[in-house]
Amino acid sequence: MDRQQSRSDRLIHQFDTALRTLMPHAASSQRTSPGEGVAEGVLDDQERRHAAGLMRINHTGEVCAQALYQGQGVTAKLPHGRHQMEQSALEKIDHLAWCDERLEQLQSRTSYLNPLFYVASFGVGVAAGAVSDRISLGLVAATEEQAGKHLDSHQQSLPSGDNRSRAILRQMAMDEAHHAQLALEAGGVRFPAPVKWGMRLASKMMTKSVYHL
């Protein structure tokens, strides 16, 4: 029989997850990177920097999503959907590891702003979970939907020769769509258009800063 976690156990788990999310190369994936075995195209310096900027944005997006899931776990009860949400969070660790690995291959790094975005997203997750599980799950669904749109856009924007990054983003987009559907099926409310517009605005601010930093 599983032992119920104490408050100290949960705090230790939260701290460990934060470290694995924020420390470069600390996240380890359960699945093989979709980019493994894909033939690497020829990229000039400008194309490599552009690809790295896009992959840095996607890595930070996964940092934010992981923080959202962790914050949600502090306050949301999720009696009917916790297992699915925990599985989604594990898959997002895969995304972190894949993006981190690809950035290293592109001779680049993760964003210096990740700790700031982690704290902000964690707080949003805590607040949403405190309001209600339906709002918390709805936020997850809306966030994953927004992430999917970014991933589709970035696949188009990547240099034509960057087949590895494109393969990674393609799988991530499929996962994000699945996560959004799970959150809605677990009882998440569909956010109205004005809320989604505000989320898109905040996302644009993040992408512009992270592309370079």
62 is in an annotated binding site: yes
**Interatomic CA distance for residues 144 and 155, integer angstroms:** 16
**Interatomic CA distance for residues 137 and 166, integer angstroms:** 28
Classify burial at 3, counting beta carbons within 10 Å of its beta carbon; exposed 0-12, middle 13-18, buried 19 or more: exposed
3-state SS class at 121: helix
Of the candidates 125, 135, 143, the one whose C-alpha atom is nearest the C-alpha of residue 187 is 135
**Interatomic CA distance for residues 97 and 92, integer angstroms:** 9
179 is in an annotated binding site: yes
3-state SS class at 85: helix
The tokens describing 174, both together, are: 């499929």
144 is in an annotated binding site: yes
**Interatomic CA distance for residues 63 and 197, integer angstroms:** 21
Residues placed in the known binding site: 62, 95, 144, 176, 179
- Binding site residues for Fe cation, as ranges? 62, 95, 144, 176, 179
